Structure 1
Amino acid sequence: MMGASNTSLRWKLSWQLSLVFTAVVAAVALGLCYYATLIRSPNVALEDRVGPAIVEAIMRDAEGRFEIRDTPLLASIREHNPDLWFVAATIDGATASYGDVPAAYAGLISQIHLVKDADIRGPGGSGEVVSIDDVETALGEVRFMIGGSSGHDWPYLTILRRMYLIYVPLVAMALPAIFVAVPHIVRGALSGLSDVVRKAPEIDPRRPGSRLPVENVPKEVVPLVVAFNAVLERLERQFQARQRFLVDAAHELRTPIAIMQTRIDGMVEGEERRRLLDDVARLGATAEQLLDFERSGHATDLHETVDLVEMARTVVADMAPLAIAAGYEISFGSEVDRLVRQGSPSALPRALGNLVSNAIDHGGNAGVISVSVSAAGEIAVADQGKGIAADLQHLVFEPFYRVTPRSKGAGLGLTLVKQIVSNHRGRVTLDSSPAGTTFTIRL
C-alpha cells in the first residue's frame, strides 16, 4: 500500500520541468530587458514619463504658432527632475522648447524633426545623456529631444513594460508546451516504467518465466528491475524444488499406504482394525490432496468453456450418496438454466466437491446441504451446522488447518479451493453463524 508520502513520479517531473521551463522563459525576458538597459539610453524612463506630458502640453496658439504650455503633469515631472529640458519639433520643422536647453545641444534643434530615435552623449566627458524620441499627438507626430534627467528613474522597469510585445507572445507560446508538451514528454519517457508497474501484479511464482520487462525502462531504473527479476528467478527455483518434493513425497506415500491397507484388511475384525483403517484412509486422502494441490498450480485448461449450472448439478449428484449416508438432505438450485464461463473443467468441479465434502464433515450430520448458482456467476454451498467462530474464520483457508482437531480431513481441502478459484481470477468468501456456514465462489 502506498503511504501518504508517495507521490506520482510523472506528476512530480511534469510540474518540476514546467517550473523550470517557466523560469527559463522568465529569465530570458528579464535578461533581454537587462541587456536593453545596457544599449538603450538611460533616459528611457524619463522619455516614458515626458512623452504623455508632451501630448497633453503641446498646442498651437491663435496665430498658429507651435508652443508648449506648462501643465500640472509637466510641473510634477520637473519637481523630480529640476534640470529637465526638452525641445519638441513637428515633422514640418516647427519647434518649441521647455526648460533651459544647454548650449552644446542648441545647434541640434533645427535637426530634431529629421531624427526619429537617438542617444546623444555630452561633449568633453560631461556625462550628460540626451535622447530623441517621438510621440503621436493631436497635431500629428512630434519628435522631442530631452535631457536633464536626475537619474532617479529606473529604466529597467520601463523597458520591461515596453517589451510586453516580445515576452507576452513568448509566454503564450510556452503555456501549451508547459501544460501539454511537458506531460507528454514525461509520459513517453516513463512508458517503459508504466509497463513494469502494469506487469508486476501479474507475477506469479507458480507460472515459470514471469519477469518484469526491461525494454524502454529508464537506465537508472534498469538495475532495480534486473535485481527484482533475479529475486523472482530464485523464488521460482525454490518453488519448483518444493513442488517436486511434495509431488515425490505424495507419490512415495502411496506405496506404503497401499501395503498398510492390505495388511490391515487381513486383520481380525474389531475396534483396532477400524481405527487403523480410518488412519490409513486419512493418510491416503492427505497424499491425494497434496497431489491435487500441486496439480492445481499447473492447470493449463483455465480458458475452456464450462457451464457452471451443469457442473454444479453433476457435483451434487456425485456427492449426494455420501451426504445422504452422513444424515443430510442435499439440494440444488439455479437462477438460470445455463451459465457459461471460461475455466478449467477439471479443477472447478474439484473445488466445488471439496466445499460439499467440507459441509458433510462439519455440518453436524443433520439438516440440509444446499448448492445454488446465481445469475451473476456465484456458486454457494451452505450447511446448517454450528458454524465457525469469528476469530477462526480467517484461518480456514490456511494449509493443514482444521477447525475440528479430530477431523478426518488433512486440512488442505479449503486451501485447494482457494488456490483453484484464485487461478480463475475469482475469490471465495465465507459467511458463518450459529445457524450454519455458507461458502461462495465468485467467478
Structure 2
Amino acid sequence: MPFVKRTWRNSISFKVLLAYVVGVGLSILLIALGVLALVTSKSDILLTTDVAERTHELAGKLQFDATGRPNGFDSSEGDRVWTFDSLGREIGHRVLDSTGNVVLTSTDATFWSSVASNPPSQQPRFKFEREGIVMYAATAAVEHQGKTWYLQFAASERLMDLLHGGFALPFMGAGIALFSLVLLFVFGACAYFTLGYTLKPLREVSESAAAISPRSLHSRLQVKTVPSEVEPLVTSFNQALARLERGYRVQQEFLATAAHELKTPLALIRAQIELMQDSHAHNALLDDVAHMTRQVQQLLLLTEASEVQNYSFATVEIADVAREACGYLQRMAEAVDVRLVLVDETPEGGQWQADRSALFTLLKNLLENAIQHAPRGTEVRMHVSAGALRVRDWGPGVDREQLPHLFTRFWRGPHRRDHGAGLGLTICQEIARAHGWMLSAKRAEPGLLFELSWP
C-alpha cells in the first residue's frame, strides 16, 4: 500500500522551526520596542535612575585629605573628571557635610542656587531648574572616619536626552541586530540539527514499517531508539503485527491442512470410481475428481508460494528454465493445435537469482494460461531477455475492466478450455512477489501479454 504523499507544511520539523523563527522574531521585536521605549522615554524615573547610579559611582571614588575633608576623586576617575570642566553648564557635583555646608564643588554657587535648602539626607533623588533647563540630581552618603558626607551630582535633561537618543540608540540598535543574528542562526542551527537527530529514529521506524509484508510479518519495529513520546505508538503497532501474524499463520495452516486432508479421500473416491461398470458415469466422475484434485494441488502450491522460507534461492539460467517449461507443455499445446515459440535474446550470463522450481512453476502457469485461451492455429510466444520475460497469446484477451481481477484467487476467464481452479495466476503473483519481481498483464490487441521483470 503506497504512502500518502505529504506536503512540507505537514512536516513536524517545519512546524517546530517555524514556531522557533516566529518566537525569535517576536522576542526580538519586543526587546527592540522595549529598549526603544526606554531610550526615548522622557520619564523622570529613567533619568533620575541614571543620575542616581552616576552619583553612587562618584561617591565610591571620593577621596579625603589628611584632616578627613573631601578633596577630590580617585585618579582612575580622571578620564571623566574633565567633563565637569568642559560641561560645567550641563553637569556638576558638590560634597556637603551633615549640616549642609558645601566643602567641595565643581561649579559656582549659581549652579545649585535653585536647589531647596532641605538637609541633603532628605534629598536622595530630586530635580531643579537652572536657567530654564531641568536638572536631574541625586544624593549619595559617604562614611569616613566617623563622619558622614553627602555627594550630590546633577545633569541636565537635554544632555541625558542627547546621550540616550543620539549616542546610545545607534549602539543599542547595532547590539540588538547582532544579538538577533546570533539568536537566529546559532540557535536555529542547533534547533535544526537537534530536530534531525530527534526525528532520525522515526524515519528509521517508518522505513522498517514500509518494508513489512505478508512474508515478513515476523519482523518488529525497534522500540529502544524511538523517543519516549512515540514509544507507545510503536509498541501498539508491534502488538498489531503480532495479531496479524497469528491470523495469517492460522489461515496458511488451515489451507495446508485442508488440502492434505482432501488428498486421501479423493484418492479413495477415484479408486472406487475406477471399479464402476457404467462408463458414462465413470468418465464424468473421474473428470470431477480430477478437477477437485487439481484444486487441492493448487491450494498446496499457493500455500507453499506464500511462505518465503520455502524458497531456496540460487543463480539460474532464465533461458534454460524457459525451454524446460515449453518442453513440458509441448504436448498440451499440440493437443489444441497451438504452437509454442521461444525467443531467446539473453546474452551469455543471462542469470537470475531465483528458486528454480518456483520459477519453473511460474513460467509453466503463464504458458498454460496462454494455451488455454489461444485459438486453434495460433501461437503462444515466450520472449526471454536478460531483464524481463514476456508471454503473449493471440487470443480474445480480456476487457480492461477484467485486468485487475486476473491475479485474484479463484477468478476464471470466460474463454478457458479447461475447468481450472482459478489459482494459477495467483500462484504466479505470489512467486514473483517472493522474489522481488514485478508481474503485470496488459492487452496486446489482440491477445494478452504478461511481463515478468525487475522492479
* TM-score under structure 1 length normalisation: 0.72
Structure 1: stretches of 5+ with no match in the other structure: 45-88, 111-119, 132-144
* Closer/same/farther in 2, CA of residues 352 and 167 from structure 1, 3 Å limit: same
Q: Residue 210 of structure 1 corresponds to which residue in structure 2?
A: 219
Aligned equivalents of 1:268, 1:393: Cα separation in 2: 45
Q: Residue 122 of structure 1 corresponds to which residue in structure 2?
A: 127
Aligned equivalents of 1:433, 1:372: Cα separation in 2: 14
The question of whether the paired residues in 1 share the 8 Å contact of 2:128 and 2:136 is answered with no
Aligned equivalents of 1:199, 1:103: Cα separation in 2: 78
Aligned equivalents of 1:303, 1:297: Cα separation in 2: 15
AA at the equivalent of 2:20? L
Alpha-carbon deviations, 1:74-97, whole Å to 9, x = none? xxxxxxxxxxxxxxx998956797
Alpha-carbon deviations, 1:159-183, whole Å to 9, x = none? 5543134223322323333543211
* Closer/same/farther in 2, CA of residues 160 and 306 from structure 1, 3 Å limit: farther
Aligned equivalents of 1:149, 1:94: Cα separation in 2: 16
Is 1:330 aligned with 2:340?
yes
Alpha-carbon deviations, 1:216-251, whole Å to 9, x = none? 212222222111211111111111111111000000
Shift in Å, 1:311:
1.9
* Structure 1 residues 57-96: aligned runs within 5 Å: none
The question of whether the paired residues in 1 share the 8 Å contact of 2:133 and 2:157 is answered with no
Task: Give the one of 1, 8, 11 matched to 2:11.
Answer: 8
Shift in Å, 1:201:
1.3
The question of whether the paired residues in 1 share the 8 Å contact of 2:346 and 2:385 is answered with yes
Shift in Å, 1:383:
0.8
Task: Give the one of 187, 191, 196 matched to 1:182.
Answer: 191
SS in structure 1 of the partner of residue 226 of structure 2 = coil
Shift in Å, 1:156:
8.2
Alpha-carbon deviations, 1:300-355, whole Å to 9, x = none? 33642232222222222222222222211101112223322222222222111111
Aligned equivalents of 2:9, 2:431: Cα separation in 1: 35
Shift in Å, 1:204:
2.1
Aligned equivalents of 1:155, 1:263: Cα separation in 2: 115
The more displaced of 213-222 and 324-333 is 213-222
Identity in percent: 26
* Closer/same/farther in 2, CA of residues 157 and 405 from structure 1, 3 Å limit: farther
Shift in Å, 1:18:
3.6
Aligned equivalents of 1:318, 1:385: Cα separation in 2: 21
* Closer/same/farther in 2, CA of residues 305 and 30 from structure 1, 3 Å limit: farther
Is 1:162 aligned with 2:165?
no
Aligned equivalents of 2:312, 2:38: Cα separation in 1: 72
The question of whether the paired residues in 1 share the 8 Å contact of 2:93 and 2:107 is answered with no
SS in structure 2 of the partner of residue 438 of structure 1 = strand
Q: Residue 315 of structure 1 corresponds to which residue in structure 2?
A: 325
Q: Residue 425 of structure 1 corresponds to which residue in structure 2?
A: 436
Aligned equivalents of 1:327, 1:413: Cα separation in 2: 22
Aligned equivalents of 2:262, 2:166: Cα separation in 1: 93
* Closer/same/farther in 2, CA of residues 361 and 28 from structure 1, 3 Å limit: same
Aligned equivalents of 1:256, 1:385: Cα separation in 2: 38
Aligned equivalents of 1:26, 1:396: Cα separation in 2: 65
AA at the equivalent of 1:168? A
* Closer/same/farther in 2, CA of residues 109 and 345 from structure 1, 3 Å limit: farther
The question of whether the paired residues in 2 share the 8 Å contact of 1:307 and 1:341 is answered with yes
Task: Give the one of 377, 394, 402 matched to 1:392.
Answer: 402
Q: Residue 424 of structure 2 corresponds to which residue in structure 1?
A: 413
AA at the equivalent of 2:16? L
Task: Give the one of 18, 22, 35 matched to 1:19.
Answer: 22
SS in structure 2 of the partner of residue 401 of structure 1 = coil
Aligned equivalents of 2:259, 2:267: Cα separation in 1: 13
AA at the equivalent of 1:230? Q
Task: Give the one of 258, 278, 291 matched to 1:249.
Answer: 258
Q: Residue 305 of structure 1 corresponds to which residue in structure 2?
A: 315
The question of whether the paired residues in 2 share the 8 Å contact of 1:428 and 1:439 is answered with yes
AA at the equivalent of 1:12? K
SS in structure 2 of the partner of residue 163 of structure 1 = helix
Is 1:347 aligned with 2:358?
yes
* Closer/same/farther in 2, CA of residues 3 and 183 from structure 1, 3 Å limit: closer
SS in structure 1 of the partner of residue 408 of structure 2 = coil
* Closer/same/farther in 2, CA of residues 185 and 418 from structure 1, 3 Å limit: same
Alpha-carbon deviations, 1:112-158, whole Å to 9, x = none? xxxxxxxx95259x994459xxxxxxxxxxxxx97355999996898
The question of whether the paired residues in 1 share the 8 Å contact of 2:439 and 2:452 is answered with yes
The question of whether the paired residues in 2 share the 8 Å contact of 1:206 and 1:236 is answered with no
The more displaced of 404-413 and 225-234 is 404-413
* Structure 1 residues 131-280: aligned runs within 5 Å: 147=156, 149=158, 159-268=168-277, 270-280=279-289
Shift in Å, 1:399:
0.4
Aligned equivalents of 1:212, 1:288: Cα separation in 2: 36
Aligned equivalents of 2:223, 2:166: Cα separation in 1: 53
* Closer/same/farther in 2, CA of residues 170 and 409 from structure 1, 3 Å limit: same
AA at the equivalent of 1:330? L
Shift in Å, 1:19:
3.1
Q: Residue 84 of structure 1 corresponds to which residue in structure 2?
A: none
Aligned equivalents of 1:317, 1:326: Cα separation in 2: 15
Aligned equivalents of 1:160, 1:310: Cα separation in 2: 87
Aligned equivalents of 1:205, 1:6: Cα separation in 2: 33
Aligned equivalents of 2:371, 2:215: Cα separation in 1: 31
AA at the equivalent of 1:324? E
* Closer/same/farther in 2, CA of residues 94 and 258 from structure 1, 3 Å limit: closer
* Closer/same/farther in 2, CA of residues 413 and 148 from structure 1, 3 Å limit: same
Report the number of matched residues: 372
Shift in Å, 1:274:
2.6
The question of whether the paired residues in 1 share the 8 Å contact of 2:391 and 2:451 is answered with yes
AA at the equivalent of 1:254? K
Alpha-carbon deviations, 1:44-100, whole Å to 9, x = none? 9xxxxxxxxxxxxxxxxxxxxxxxxxxxxxxxxxxxxxxxxxxxx998956797xxx
Task: Give the one of 352, 372, 391 matched to 1:381.
Answer: 391
Alpha-carbon deviations, 1:253-273, whole Å to 9, x = none? 111111122222233474433
Q: Residue 304 of structure 2 corresponds to which residue in structure 1?
A: 295
The question of whether the paired residues in 2 share the 8 Å contact of 1:205 and 1:235 is answered with no
Is 1:359 aligned with 2:370?
yes
AA at the equivalent of 2:218? G
Aligned equivalents of 1:28, 1:196: Cα separation in 2: 42
